[in-house]
Amino acid sequence: MNLPNLGNALFQLVTTARHALFDQGELAQLTYGAFDVTAGNVKSDPSEVIEISFPVGYRPDKTAILSIRKYTKEQLLGRYQFLAFTQMPLNGLAQLVTITEALLGDVVRAVVVRHPQKLGGKRTIQLQAVIEAQSLEEVHMRATDALLNELSYKSPLDFASSLNDLLSVNLLQCPAFHKYVELKATRDIHVHNRGFVNETYLKKSSSHARARDKMVLPVDIPYFLESYEACLQLTEWLENELDQHWHSSEREAAREVAPSPGPHEDTGSSVPISQQPPPTLPAPKKTKRARTKRTDV
């Protein structure tokens, strides 16, 4: 199997993940702006009662079963405010975790595939998998898949320990990773416990816990932005750390062409921010980001 330079492969993985994170920031801005425009249309509508149709089922002939609901302006604005201030940050949060989890798993796979000895001599694989494999490389791939499946069930802290054992990359030295640990715990609470804090969340989050037991764990636009920034910082730290182990000529060339901006330099890109609570949707404010999104990849 002809594989590209490992350092370049890792750089491409991190870069792709960072682009996906940037996309989440962009989509959040567009979504928030769409809600703001819609709220403006609702306010300017001369009708005091507005009818909205939405699907309540789906027929075998692939047509939607529609229902019509009547809203007062206040009711409809409340629903759009819920979408903009609560549902959008929650959905964005899940995407941030998915992207970051996938990146960490892809990094492990890329390294272990090229260095199967990192699997360790004690790792076992089912005899049937060995018999069905067409080559030794396929055996390595199946063993790697088994390792990744095992790692996927570990907590972020246990995963960090395993990653350090495998790659000598210690995520616990990255401040942004500890924020990511709390972010992932928040995602899990809203997926599995309706947003109510429990002992599992408190244990995972430790000193980064944001609420007490049985309280509702808040997720809003500022929290989404803080989490978004933490994930971006994690990719930057990981890129630098991996390059120290497996140098990337592509990264070096990219930095020579367009050096990375400093942490507070103005690049003119923007993300959604709203510190204002309901009852009305404010216009999205723009804030300057310290990074630019590459468009040539």
SS3 for 262-291 is CCCCCCCCCCCECCCCCCCCCCCECCCCCC
Instruction: Flag whether pLDDT at 286 surpasses 90.
Output: no
Report CA-CA distances (Å) from 199 to 172, 186, 213, 233, 246. Answer: 22, 12, 7, 28, 39
User: 49-58 and 64-72: which strand pairing?
Assistant: antiparallel
pLDDT by residue (tens digit) across 124-144?
Answer: 665 555 555 556 565 566 667
* CA pair distance 223, 209, nearest whole angstrom: 13
* pLDDT (mean) for 11-22: 97
**Average per-residue pLDDT for the chain:** 84
* CA pair distance 35, 28, nearest whole angstrom: 11
CB atoms within 10 A of CB 292: 14
pLDDT by residue (tens digit) across 109-125?
Answer: 999 888 877 776 555 66
* CA pair distance 31, 18, nearest whole angstrom: 20
Instruction: Flag whether pLDDT at 283 surpasses 50.
Output: no
Give the pLDDT score at 118: 77
Largest CA distance in the chain: 74
Instruction: Flag whether pLDDT at 297 surpasses 60.
Output: no
Give the pLDDT score at 294: 47
Instruction: Flag whether pLDDT at 16 surpasses 90.
Output: yes
Question: Which of the four pLDDT bands, split at 50, 70 and 90, describes residue 230?
Answer: very high
Instruction: Flag whether pLDDT at 188 surpasses 60.
Output: yes
Three-class secondary structure of residue 52 per DSSP: strand
* CA pair distance 111, 166, nearest whole angstrom: 9
210: burial class by Cβ within 10 Å (0-12, 13-18, 19+)? middle
Q: Residue 164's Cα: distance from chain center in Å?
A: 22
Instruction: Flag whether pLDDT at 26 surpasses 50.
Output: yes
CA dihedral 245, 181, 190, 72 (to 10 degrees): -90
Q: What's the predicted TM-score (pTM) here?
A: 0.81
Residue ranges per structural domain of the chain? 6-44+90-252
CA dihedral 82, 87, 90, 95 (to 10 degrees): -150
Tokens in use for 90?
């929650």
* pLDDT (mean) for 40-65: 94
Report CA-CA distances (Å) from 88 to 12, 18, 91, 280, 285. Answer: 29, 20, 5, 16, 16
